[in-house]
Amino acid sequence: MIPSNRVRVGAVGYLNARPLVYGLDERPRFELRFDVPSVCARLLHRGAIDVGLIPSIEYLRGGPYAIVPGLAIASHGPVASVMLYVTKAVGDVRSIAMDTSSCTSVALTRVLCRQLFRIQPAIEARGPDLADMLSRCDAALVIGDNALFLDPRRSFSAGGHVEAIDLGEAWKRLTGLPFVYAFWAGLPDVLAAEDVAALQRARDEGVRRPEELAQQYLADAPGRQALGARYLRDNIKYQFGDEERAGLETFYRYALEAGLVTAARELRFFDAAGAAWAVGSTAT
């Protein structure tokens, strides 16, 4: 049953999510909170929120959920905020420290290791402190704002060479497809048609305002605002259409082959006309 009170919405606290939540805090229907991606997924899985901007891999680990159609955090090449830092040639990497904030990017790293880099590294979960991560492992995965604004030359004090590999670009090189990092998902009875429309309108309004959103989000760091606006405008894509669906289904297939999930699942979407459980096109 669609709730008559507020919808508990769990969003990601990074800059890249700001266009998707534009104006939602002013709508009494939505009760909004912000967390890192891994926490957002855990909250949805245990029913602590009704709808979450979840890492795409988590769609296969909970639910079954429906996806809000047309909306995603995706890239069509370099993403600039999902970075693998390596201290040696990637083919020689034997260990990777993985950012504990991440779910999908960890899975993407494992898929790329198997399908593109042809390595089988040991994995260690660590907080996103590059110097600490690279003191323990040959490579480090860092995501979100921590990656976008990171200067590895300053953050890694061991004095060695560090190369940054953009995993959005690596995925595009492997598959020729976009990569979908996150999308809105929830149990199929939690959103009314007007809620779906409100989330879509928030995205439409937000993507028109990269400079405004970067200035607001980075008010205490004006030197980063131009980079933030360029990132929102050029690197992150907020559509979930047929190309994105093909990229997501390819990722799920690779994840299943790598043993990162136990089963595949058909993509299901809220019906924007009536919020029914719908299977089919992602386009809106």
Q: Which tens digit of pLDDT belongs to each residue from 111-141?
A: 999 999 999 999 999 988 899 999 999 999 9
Q: Which pLDDT score is estimated for 155?
A: 56
What is the CB neighbour count within 10 angstroms for residue 256?
Answer: 15
What are the tens digits of pLDDT across the range 131-184? 999 999 999 999 999 999 987 766 555 556 889 999 999 999 999 999 999 999
- The phi, psi pair for 10, rounded to 5°, reads -105, 115
Higher pLDDT, 199 or 156: 199
What value does the mean pLDDT take over residues 82-92?
95
Q: Which pLDDT score is estimated for 5?
A: 82
Higher pLDDT, 1 or 211: 211
Greatest alpha-carbon pair distance for the chain in Å reads 58
Assess whether pLDDT exceeds 80 at residue 280: no
The percent of residues above 90 in pLDDT, for the chain, comes to 78
Tell me which DSSP letter residue 78 carries: -
Name residue 137's amino acid.
C
Contact 220, 201 (CB under 8 A): no
Q: Which pLDDT score is estimated for 151?
A: 79
Q: Which pLDDT score is estimated for 1?
A: 46
Q: What is the C-alpha R_g of the chain?
A: 18
Q: Is 201 helix (H, G, I), strand (E, B) or coil?
A: helix
282 confidence band (pLDDT: 50, 70, 90): very low
Higher pLDDT, 63 or 97: 97
Write down the pTM of the prediction: 0.91
Name residue 277's amino acid.
W
Q: Quick one: residue 168, left, alpha or beta (phi over 0 = left, psi -120 to 50 = alpha)? A: alpha
Q: Which of 77-81, 93-97, 276-280 has the lowest mean pLDDT?
A: 276-280
Assess whether pLDDT exceeds 60 at residue 281: no
Q: Which pLDDT score is estimated for 273?
A: 54
Assess whether pLDDT exceeds 70 at residue 69: yes
DSSP 71-118: EEEEESS--SSEEEEESS-GGG--EEEEETT-SHHHHHHHHHIIIII-
Domains defined along the chain, listed by start: 7-76+178-278 (3.40.190.10), 82-175 (3.40.190.10)
Residues 275, 265: Cα–Cα separation, whole Å: 20
Cα–Cα nearest to 104, from 251, 244, 243: 251
Q: Is 81 helix (H, G, I), strand (E, B) or coil?
A: coil
Residues 235, 130: Cα–Cα separation, whole Å: 23
